[in-house]
Amino acid sequence: MALAEMNTTLAENARGPGAGEFAPSRKRRRSVFFTVLRHSGALVGLMVLGAIIAMAATAPLIRPGDPLALAGTPLLWPGQDLAHPLGTDNMGRDVLAGIMHGARVSLLVGVAATALGVLGGVSVGAVAGYFGGRIDNLIVRFIEIFQTIPGFVLLVVLVAVIQPSIWTVIIGIALTSWDTIARLTRAEFRTLRQQDYVSAARSVGYGDAHIILREIIPNALPPLVVTATIMVASAILSESALAFLGLGDPNSVSWGAMIGTGREYIRTHWYLTAIPGGFIVATVFALNLIGDALNDALSPHLART
Amino acid sequence: MSRNRRILLSLRRNLLQAIPTMFVIVTLGFFLMQLAPGDVADYIAAETGAASEEGIHALRVQFGLNLPVLEQLFAYYDNLAHFSLGISPRYGAPVSDMIMARVPGTLLLMGVAIAVALLLGFAMGTTMALLSRRLPDRLLSLLSLVFYSVPTFWIGLMLIVLFSVHLGLFPSGGARTIGGPSEGWDWFVDRLRYITLPALTLGLNYVAIYARLTRAAVIEAQRHDYVRTAIAKGLTPARVIRRHVLRNALTPIAALTGAKVAGMLGGAIVVETVFSWPGMGRLAYEAILAREYPVLLGILLVSSALVIVANALFDILQSLLDPRVEVS
Amino acid sequence: MMHRLDPGMTSPLLQLRNLRVSYDAPLRNGVAVGGLDLEVERGETLALVGESGCGKSTTALSVLGLLPAHTEISGQILFDGGDLVGMAPERLRALRGRQIGMIFQEPMTSLNPVYTIGRQIAEVLHEHTDISAAAARRRVLELLEQVGIPDPAHRIDAYPHELSGGQRQRAMIAMAIALRPRLLIADEPTTALDSTTQMQILELIDGLRRELGMSVLLISHDLPLVRAWSDRVVVMHHGQKMETLKSRDLFEAGRHPYTRGLISASIRLSDERHYTTSRLAEVRAHRAANDEFRFELHTPPGRIAATASAPDLPGPDAAGPDASAALDVRDLTVRYPGADRPAVDGVSFTLARNQTLGLVGESGSGKSSLSRAIMRLIPGVTGEISLLGKDLAGAQGAGLRQARRHIQMVFQDPYASLNPRQTVGDILGNPLKLHGIAERGERVRQMLDRVGLPASSVDRYPHEFSGGQRQRIGIARALILQPDVLICDEPVSALDVSIQAQILNLLADIRAEFGLSMLFISHDLAVVQYVSDKVMVMQRGKIVDTGDHTTIWRSPRHPYTKALIAAVN
């Protein structure tokens, strides 16, 4: 029975002098990019995500004009009319146009909200984790408050009160997601700043800026990159849920809003709900696959061998 | 340290932290409401059609809206200290009563969802870890990633299409049959039929979360020296896994469950909306449609308070599961 | 107890025949044990000694079938005549904990943190016998008494984290001997413990061996320890037996060049070796084309001149900082927030130029906090530090940066002290760049050569090197700015003995060559005796004893120094 797994001590022993001579290994660190590519899941994820991005990019070419405008007979099933391969909704709007233009909104919101959230969260977390002391206490209490408020409830209240638009949605999602990455950054910085190599850098005479940028961030990056990828996925989910509740930007088409409209016809025309939902699942699934692959590629257990 | 003392210390620490936290949230909520276009007087005026300037002004005086912001803030604190969240302009009923009537529904839904998610997730995660890197592990990993990627409101609608519309197995909304059985086994079955789909929907994301966490925790536990000690003692594999691997994996799972309560309350909004489940979430949706901001704010405060209570409970659970957890 | 008629009670209890183990895991692959033969006689303690990677732990784990997944094993492990290799899992399980007990290196992680020790000890009783809960508890109390845990009635309900390291290891031993096994395997049982505790644990194991009539298979890297606590010694290297020796004449009778190398590199306090009079032999293994190893034993040439003893070292009680000293520390106190006592409590000392000052103390004595306070790496420090006659404690900004050039540090952990994302070239070159020093490439190459690393190391990352090589990189980084004072914080305690010898020789050479003044911190008395000119003993944040490198050991004044010496002699 081999219930026990190899632990790192036993593994590291192979380099001990008792095992014979040890020449610096010729195996170089493989670039993360290639390690991720070798992961079949990541490949699928990248392909799906690539297709979604291509859809978003070509939307104005393939389906020009306002996707919210009437385009044909209402409630056409997919395949019924080749001019509307994915059918039309109750208002006669082309579903394919909605999907393609909706991809733009989903990606924009996902990336912009994450960028904002990461920027805020990493800065706050870095300050708390690196400097510690009173400022750290204050920031930790602040993060705790944000973790106490149910994020999605706050998001709903925020967007409802300030009136929905694509920017309130983006800012709202950033405001309710920065705490996760702030906490992670703080934890990483706290651990890393106590590493001997950071002490060594300080003994040599480096200041805080160099230590943060050159010694700590490169080592804190892997978990932050993974988390950011997952944050894009959950931002897309939040946006769709908001739009479903009628809190999306009323002037732009969104997958969640399409589901919200389709819901009224779910007993007779379920495809109106199923199709945009399928695209949300595909996008989010692709991002999560990539996040997983990054996590495997960047995990310290594998980096040592 | 005795068990009871640990519980008391943990409770005390949580209570001491809860007071400033709630205070900040309340204040934040108050200023958030200042951002809303228009005020209660405008709504009532719009509702009743009494749009005259004098009428609105009279209403403002009545609600204290003509006072400086700070005074309004103190009035608001004063109300909250008396557990009053104001009056709903539309229904003319106290907001706190409206919300409190919905809290049990949400708690029931969340409780069942967590139970289902824990059961399924723990089983999935254990299977994955013990067969790690083999085919069942890879398939289940992929499945859990799909569960994690699905928008709750959408999977809820799809379940309705399949199980209610096409198969007719479960009702598509509500919490019980109107005029149905009110006691005994029949009542239980009736409630069970209504709660199955919403609980599954709300729990689905969490099945994935628990499955992945359990897998990681069990694999991690197998690297620990104490598992090697347990084998060296001559324990059977089943006992090694139960007493030394799974038991130790419980601590991170409890911690995560506590941390995810806030997220689940958010999920309840959409799930209750989809299934017309009479809970706080459904009330929130109604409040969005009616632009009833005091109700929304009340829900925000009450759900934050629920999170604080849940965190306190899970902290106690954690300190019982792991004697090393510091409670001072 | 299982009684069985053994046809030959004189046959060895445990016999390994041509044991081969190889790993095929993502973390480690290749042969770990390559055809090992050995016997453990009834009632004896056999020690398996060697440096990390030699396969001694793998051998110990293979006896009880505790090897991790993805491991190939062949050959025979005969326990009392039955072959454990390929034995049915059920039969092997019946032997574990009952006929063969095992204890491990890290008692903290080897005990499950969520159960009381009483419960964990009772578990082994319940697994193999039909004992009642009450009887099991009585037996556990008896066992705790037997292994010398004070106040067993109270401690039986303690969790592992509530006990000291030594008590935890005692609890592990109680668990291992609960069913009076015939063989006890002890895998580095004292490596994680302080020296004073080490001896007590080994005494306990030896006492129990006699009391219970057990055999003991003792795995260790420590030659002096093995000599004192075993009957026979098997020396291992690259998964093979080099030679078998009687323990009592291990240091005299060892013939194999590798054994000789280990012996000569192991410094014992009683040998009174000093860097000025005796260089350490370095043993190197070279793999020949036919995969056989050739061992080369060589002692670096030359003697290192005794340091010109600084004229009349002013004691710490002299008034005012001493400008002629390399480093002068007065009333240094380090206080961590929330701690009930200062980590460093009013320490004063003087490090004379061209001298090595040794600092000895057990874990928690505050010696690392002291080194970090001098390096200006931690807050909460009060007192005076003067470096080459200039104030270091109050230096700020550019002044501090300038001062840092003159004082550098070598860290304990060669894995944690190098940034995994920087190449060796960057690690060594960046400090030069920061201080505006030209000819960086040339200086880096020279320094690599000086510490014994190939020039091709420049564009490699730390993870590509072994522990000893990384420590050389750490030394190179400390030296690249050509400092005057070098603080070495446990620089060899994470290293194997042959590597330790190489590093100590290197440090002695560069100290003379670069004219360094060195503060050498270690928990290992023998190492401090070897490298130091003067020695300080630290306990609970205070310097309790100081003296010359010979007198302090011969005539210790403070009782704590006496206790430390007693623990290793």
Interface test with C, best of A15, A224, A225, A301 (most C CBs within 10 A): A15
Taking the C-alpha atoms of residue A124 and residue C379, their distance in angstroms, rounded to an integer, is: 22
Q: Maximum CA pair distance of chain B?
A: 87
Q: Looking at the domain assignment, is residue A265 inside a domain?
A: yes
- B234–C172: do the CB atoms touch at under 8 Å? no
Taking the C-alpha atoms of residue C399 and residue C402, their distance in angstroms, rounded to an integer, is: 5
Interface of B with A in 222-241 (CB under 8 A): 222-223, 225, 227-228, 231, 237, 240-241
Instruction: Give a three-class secondary structure readout of chain B.
Output: CCHHHHHHHHHHHHHHHHHHHHHHHHHHHHHHHHCCCCCHHHHHHHHHCCCCHHHHHHHHHHHCCCCCHHHHHHHHHHHHHCCCCCECCCCCCEHHHHHHHHHHHHHHHHHHHHHHHHHHHHHHHHHHHHCCCCHHHHHHHHHHHHHHHCCHHHHHHHHHHHHHHHCCCCCCCCCCCCCCCCCHHHHHHHHHHHHHHHHHHHHHHHHHHHHHHHHHHHHHHHCCHHHHHHHHCCCCHHHHHHHHHHHHHHHHHHHHHHHHHHHHHHHHHHHHHHCCCCCHHHHHHHHHHHCCHHHHHHHHHHHHHHHHHHHHHHHHHHHHHCCCCCCC
B311 touches chain A (CB under 8 A): yes
Q: Tell me how close the Cα of A13 comes to any Cα of chain B, in angstroms.
A: 16
Residue C15: the pLDDT is 94
Token pair of C276 as six digits:
């000025």
Q: Looking at the domain assignment, is residue A15 inside a domain?
A: no
Among partner residues B33, B273, B304, which is closest to A245 by beta-carbon distance?
A: B273
Among partner residues B25, B150, B155, which is closest to A148 by beta-carbon distance?
A: B25
Q: How far is CA C307 from CA A219, C316, C515, in A?
A: 43, 21, 10
pLDDT tens, residue by residue, B229-275: 999 999 999 999 999 999 998 888 888 888 889 999 999 989 999 99
Q: How many CB atoms lie within 10 A of CB A123?
A: 13
Which value does ipTM take for this structure? Answer: 0.88
- Helix-strand-coil split of chain A, %, nearest 5: 75, 0, 25
Element (H, E) at C376: none
- B223–A245: do the CB atoms touch at under 8 Å? no
Token pair of C45 as six digits:
């303690």
List the chains bordering chain A where 3 or more Cβ pairs fall under 8 Å: B, C
Beginning with the edge strand found earlier in the chain, give each strand of the sheet holding C29-40 in spatial order: C29-40, C14-24, C71-79, C82-83
Phi and psi, residue C245, nearest 5°: -135, 155
Residue B209: the pLDDT is 93
pLDDT tens, residue by residue, C352-403: 999 999 999 988 899 999 999 999 999 889 999 999 989 999 999 899 999 9
- C interface residues, B as partner, C-beta within 8 Å: 61, 64, 66, 93-98, 101-102, 104, 106, 109-114, 123-124, 127-128, 159, 161, 172, 175
Three-state secondary-structure class, residue C218: strand
Q: Write down the pTM of the prediction.
A: 0.86
Q: Looking at the domain assignment, is residue A215 inside a domain?
A: yes
- C28–A11: do the CB atoms touch at under 8 Å? yes
Residue A94: the pLDDT is 87
Surface-to-core class of residue A137, CB atoms within 10 Å of its CB (0-12 exposed, 13-18 middle, 19+ buried): exposed
Among partner residues B33, B149, B157, which is closest to A266 by beta-carbon distance?
A: B157
* Residue A134: partners with Cβ closer than 8 Å, 6 or more residues away: none
Residues C462 and C419 sit within 8 Å (Cβ to Cβ): yes
Q: Maximum CA pair distance of chain C?
A: 81
User: In which domain, by residue range, is A248 found?
Assistant: 98-279
Question: Which residues of chain A lie closer than 8 angstroms to C411, CB-CB?
Answer: 196, 199-200
Q: How many CB atoms lie within 10 A of CB B72?
A: 17
List the alpha helices (DSSP H) in C287-408. 367-374, 397-404
| Pairing assessment for the beta strands C485-489 and C344-351 based on DSSP bridges | unpaired
Interface of A with B in 2-31 (CB under 8 A): 3-7
Residue C317: the pLDDT is 46
For chain A, which residues score pLDDT lower than 70? 1-5, 21-38, 299-305
- B270–A241: do the CB atoms touch at under 8 Å? yes
Question: Which residues of chain C lie closer than 8 angstroms to A12, CB-CB?
Answer: 52, 467
Taking the C-alpha atoms of residue A130 and residue A186, their distance in angstroms, rounded to an integer, is: 7
| Pairing assessment for the beta strands C344-351 and C215-220 based on DSSP bridges | unpaired
Q: How far is CA A51 from CA A102, A225, A279, A282, in A?
A: 14, 22, 11, 10
User: In terms of CA atoms, which chain A residue is nearest residue B261?
Assistant: A150
- A277–B237: do the CB atoms touch at under 8 Å? no
- From the list C497, C19, C41, the residue with the least C-alpha distance to C230 is C41
Tell me the sheet residues that pair with C214: none
Question: Which residues of chain B lie closer than 8 angstroms to A233, CB-CB?
Answer: 149
Question: Which residues of chain C lie closer than 8 angstroms to B323, CB-CB?
Answer: 113-114, 159, 161
- C111–B229: do the CB atoms touch at under 8 Å? yes
Interface test with C, best of A5, A12, A13 (most C CBs within 10 A): A13
Q: Looking at the domain assignment, is residue A112 inside a domain?
A: yes
- C69–A6: do the CB atoms touch at under 8 Å? yes
Q: Looking at the domain assignment, is residue A189 inside a domain?
A: yes
Residue C312: the pLDDT is 44
Q: Tell me how close the Cα of A6 comes to any Cα of chain C, in angstroms.
A: 5
Residue A298: the pLDDT is 76
Token pair of B28 as six digits:
């934040």
* Angle, alpha carbons A257-A260-A261 (nearest 5°): 90
Among partner residues A1, A148, A267, which is closest to B21 by beta-carbon distance?
A: A148
Q: Is A22 left (phi over 0), alpha (psi -120 to 50) or beta?
A: beta
Residue C307: the pLDDT is 53
- CATH number of the domain at A194, please: 1.10.3720.10
Residue C531: the pLDDT is 94
Instruction: Give a three-class secondary structure readout of C390-448.
Output: EECCCCCHHHHHHHHCCEEEECCCCCCCCCCCCCHHHHHHHHHHHCCCCCHHHHHHHHH
Residue C4: the pLDDT is 47
Q: Looking at the domain assignment, is residue A51 inside a domain?
A: no
* Residue C356: partners with Cβ closer than 8 Å, 6 or more residues away: C307, C511, C517, C518, C519, C520, C531, C532, C533, C534
Among partner residues B232, B247, B248, which is closest to C102 by beta-carbon distance?
A: B232
Tell me the sheet residues that pair with C185: C102, C217
Question: Which residues of chain B lie closer than 8 angstroms to C97, CB-CB?
Answer: 232-235
Question: Which residues of chain A lie closer than 8 angstroms to C400, CB-CB?
Answer: 205
Instruction: Calculate the dihedral angle through the C-alpha atoms of C52, C55, C60, C62, rounding to the nearest 10 degrees.
Output: 140
- From the list C562, C512, C508, the residue with the least C-alpha distance to C520 is C508
- B226–C104: do the CB atoms touch at under 8 Å? no
For chain B, which residues score pLDDT lower than 70? 1, 38-41, 43-51, 63, 89, 326-328
- A256–B151: do the CB atoms touch at under 8 Å? yes
> pLDDT per position in chain C (569 positions), as tens?
444 445 455 789 999 999 999 998 877 888 899 899 999 999 999 999 999 889 999 999 999 999 888 889 999 999 988 999 989 999 999 999 999 999 998 888 999 999 999 999 999 999 999 999 999 999 999 999 999 999 999 999 999 999 998 999 999 999 999 999 999 999 999 988 888 888 899 999 999 999 999 999 999 999 989 999 999 999 999 999 999 999 998 989 888 999 999 998 888 888 888 988 888 888 888 888 777 888 888 888 766 665 544 444 444 444 455 667 899 999 999 999 888 899 999 999 999 999 999 999 988 899 999 999 999 999 889 999 999 989 999 999 899 999 999 999 999 888 889 999 899 999 999 999 999 998 899 999 999 999 999 999 999 999 888 889 999 999 999 999 999 999 999 999 888 999 999 999 999 999 999 999 999 999 999 999 999 999 999 999 999 999 988 888 888 889 999 988 888 76
Residue C399: the pLDDT is 92
Among partner residues A7, A267, A281, which is closest to B150 by beta-carbon distance?
A: A281
Count of structural domains, chain A: 1
Question: Which residues of chain B lie closer than 8 angstroms to A274, CB-CB?
Answer: 158, 161
Question: Which residues of chain A lie closer than 8 angstroms to B36, CB-CB?
Answer: 161-162
- B152–A1: do the CB atoms touch at under 8 Å? no
Phi and psi, residue B246, nearest 5°: -65, -40
Q: Looking at the domain assignment, is residue A192 inside a domain?
A: yes
Taking the C-alpha atoms of residue C92 and residue C72, their distance in angstroms, rounded to an integer, is: 17
Q: Looking at the domain assignment, is residue A125 inside a domain?
A: yes
